[in-house]
Amino acid sequence: MELPVLLLALLLLVCGLFPTLESSVAAQEFDSSDEDPEPGFISASHLHRARRSPEVAPPDKCSYTFIVPQQKVTGAICVNSREPEALLENRVNKQELELLNTELHKQKRQIETLQQLVEVDGGIVNEVKLLRKESRNMNSRVTQLYMQLLHEIIRKRDNSLELSQLENKILNQTSEMLQLTNRYKDLEHKYQHLASLANNQSAIIALLETQCQRGHPVMVPRAPAQPQPQPQPQPRPSPPISKPYHPPTFNRNSQITNEIQSDQNLKVPPPPLPTMPSGTHSPSPTNIPSGPWKDCLQALEDGNTNSGMYLVKPDNTNKLMQVWCDQRQDPGGWMVIQRRMDGSVNFFRNWETYKQGFGNIDGEYWLGLENIYWLTNQGNYKLLVTLEDWAGRKTFAEYASFRLDPEADFYKLRVGRYHGNAGDSLTWHNGKQFTTLDRDHDAYTGNCAHYQKGGWWYNACAHSNLNGVWYRGGHYRSRYQDGVYWAEFRGGAYSLKKVVMMIRPNPNTFH
């Protein structure tokens, strides 16, 4: 191996080119190896003199070819790679071609995908157009239905208006009928009063004739003709107390009820003449309490322990009135101001009738707002309301204080604290003015008396309506809740069988 190297160095010295070799000549190092060298060729060209003096002319170029054994390359090899730039630019890299082919395939797949999407989008566009067309058709149909509905609403509103006008006409006719009924009852009351006076005069005439017959025997021939008037005053004695006091007492046989309650009274047999309840003594010319007292408690304290009709004169007034005193309801001394028991009396009345009072003193009656006002303002009074349903259940509601304001304040209700087992259905009406069909003082936009068919201290409208329509059997069907009800006891759709409102002095009143 050393011999070729020495020959190469010698030739370089001869040519004078050793110190000035071009920097592009490749230097190769070969290491010895145990393997046998294989023949090969190494070429060196373009050897120039690197350094030469400016005076000396460049020598002739020379090139040599050496055949040297090929050695195993173990180090770096420097090769002159200077080639024209055009050839380098035109050289194509296979890897880059593969990358370009890959990108082209990707682009092709994306184009195919886009074509598919375009086809799908075209179908969707057609469907959207169809949906828009159907939407426009549906909008036109909805508009048509809306117009039809609006037309129906306007028609129903017109019908409601006509119905309301018809109801108003019916109410007006009912009010006029009630006024005529009240006038008829007043005339009937006057007739009864005149009949009573005629009976009294007949009795007096009979007594005078008897005395004349006893004192003058010449008139004896008339005796056979006079036995009939003599026993007449016995079955119908004339009470010493006349009947102009409130409330007026009417004969039940001649009582005319309103058409609203007529269907409830058709099945009721004709009631007998007014009598006192069992266990009490009927008033007669010999056992009627003399009176008057300021209330039933004073009558009880004077020893009158029987329940019945008493003459009462409140303090600070000359007003006389007949009231029913319940001396057996513990502890006694109760004045009955309202009673419902058989539906025989119509309670759908006007303001003046509720003010003066009406009904049968020993049956269903209303004492009168003016009378209640004078009674409750002469001292502290409490209110007791007894209730009974059609199954025989009895409950009560008691209020520690009860009074009415004067008519100038429309008899406003004032009640105190409640206790009892019937539930509190009157406190909601506390502080409310009295309302009738012709005097609207309630908190409702309409007249509660028209709907509740009575007179009461309505709010908007009622939790209790003890002056409503008396329905037989309890549960009733009506367009409005117009029965005799106490909402906390059996509810507003249940008409109670018996209701009594009574007052009694309460010196230990607490509000």
Residue among 452, 444, 457 at smallest CA distance from 484: 452
pLDDT at residue 54, rounded to an integer: 46
**What distance in Å separates the CA atoms of residue 223 and residue 190, rounded to the nearest whole number?**
34
**What distance in Å separates the CA atoms of residue 449 and residue 444, rounded to the nearest whole number?**
10
pLDDT at residue 273, rounded to an integer: 34
Structure token digits, residue 396: 């009560």
pLDDT at residue 424, rounded to an integer: 95
pTM: 0.49
Q: Are strands 308-312 and 64-70 parallel, antiparallel or unpaired?
A: unpaired
> At residue 171, what are phi and psi to the nearest 5 degrees?
-65, -40
Burial 4-31, CB ≥16 within 10 A → b, else e: eeeeeeeeeeeeebbeeeeeeeeeeebe
Residue among 480, 484, 450 at smallest CA distance from 467: 484
**What distance in Å separates the CA atoms of residue 362 and residue 358, rounded to the nearest whole number?**
12
Per-residue pLDDT of the chain (511 residues; tens, 9 = 90+): 555 555 666 665 555 544 444 434 333 433 444 444 444 444 444 434 444 444 445 555 666 666 666 556 565 555 555 555 555 555 557 888 888 889 999 999 999 888 888 888 777 888 888 898 888 889 888 988 989 898 889 988 888 888 888 888 898 888 888 889 888 888 888 888 888 888 888 888 888 878 787 764 433 333 333 333 333 333 333 333 333 333 444 333 333 334 455 444 444 443 333 333 333 333 333 355 677 899 999 999 999 999 999 999 998 888 889 999 999 988 889 999 999 999 999 999 999 999 999 999 989 999 999 999 999 999 999 999 999 999 999 999 999 999 999 999 999 999 999 999 999 999 999 999 999 999 999 999 999 999 999 999 999 999 999 999 999 999 999 888 999 999 999 999 999 999 999 999 987 754 4
What stretches of 294-376 show up as alpha helix (H) in DSSP?
Answer: 296-301, 351-356, 369-376
pLDDT at residue 211, rounded to an integer: 79
What stretches of 228-306 show up as alpha helix (H) in DSSP?
Answer: 259-265, 296-301
- State whether residue 128 is helix, strand or coil: helix
**What distance in Å separates the CA atoms of residue 324 and residue 375, rounded to the nearest whole number?**
13
pLDDT at residue 212, rounded to an integer: 80
pLDDT at residue 23, rounded to an integer: 39
Would you call 321 exposed, middle or buried from its count of C-beta atoms within 10 A (0-12, 13-18, 19+)? buried
**What distance in Å separates the CA atoms of residue 469 and residue 466, rounded to the nearest whole number?**
9
